């Protein structure tokens, strides 16, 4: 299964470029609800978070919420971001991820 479109953020551009070149064809569709989590180091509060890093699609899906909270969004590959946040212990930096991306890391939902 490949994500090709998102009801909030629109189409997943990279996949649309890969489909014709890869010889793949769409044979069906599935609607999958996604629940994002804001993650930070243990002890961080929502008011501590000034910057959030994540995949471009996750940030697009959460952009309205991030703007309301005045949190700066930075596009990055999610797994290295989670590991870097854990390593630095910086309470001002968070990440947005779905649950499967962080189960073995020492981060908490904020």
Q: Are residues 61 and 95 in the same domain?
A: yes
Strands (E), 5-71: 5-6, 10-11, 37-41, 51-54
Q: Are residues 55 and 28 in the same domain?
A: no
56-108 pLDDT, tens per residue?
Answer: 888 988 999 999 999 999 988 766 777 777 778 888 988 888 766 454 445 55
29-52 pLDDT, tens per residue?
Answer: 888 777 888 888 888 889 999 999
Q: Are residues 55 and 73 in the same domain?
A: yes
Question: What is the value of pTM for the model shown?
Answer: 0.68
72 DSSP β-pair partners? 51
CATH of the domain at 60: 3.40.190.10
Residue of 109 and 77 predicted with greater confidence: 77
Q: Are residues 41 and 21 in the same domain?
A: no
Q: Are residues 47 and 95 in the same domain?
A: yes
Structural domain of residue 25, as residue ranges? 1-33
> SS3 for 55?
coil
1-21 pLDDT, tens per residue?
Answer: 667 766 666 666 667 677 777
Q: Are residues 18 and 39 in the same domain?
A: no
Q: Are 55 and 100 in contact (CB under 8 A)?
A: no
Number of domains observed in the structure of the chain = 2
């Amino acid at each position: 299964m490949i994500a090709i479109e998102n009801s909030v953020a629109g189409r997943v551009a990279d996949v649309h470029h890969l489909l014709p070149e890869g010889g793949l064809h769409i044979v069906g569709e599935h609607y999958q609800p996604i629940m994002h989590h804001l993650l930070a180091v243990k002890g961080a509060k929502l008011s501590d978070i000034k910057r959030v890093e994540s995949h471009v699609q996750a940030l697009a899906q959460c952009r309205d919420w991030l703007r309301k909270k005045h949190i700066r969004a930075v596009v990055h590959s999610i797994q290295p971001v989670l590991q870097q946040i854990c390593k630095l212990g910086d309470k001002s930096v968070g990440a947005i991820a779905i649950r499967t991306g962080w189960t073995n890391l020492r981060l908490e939902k904020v």
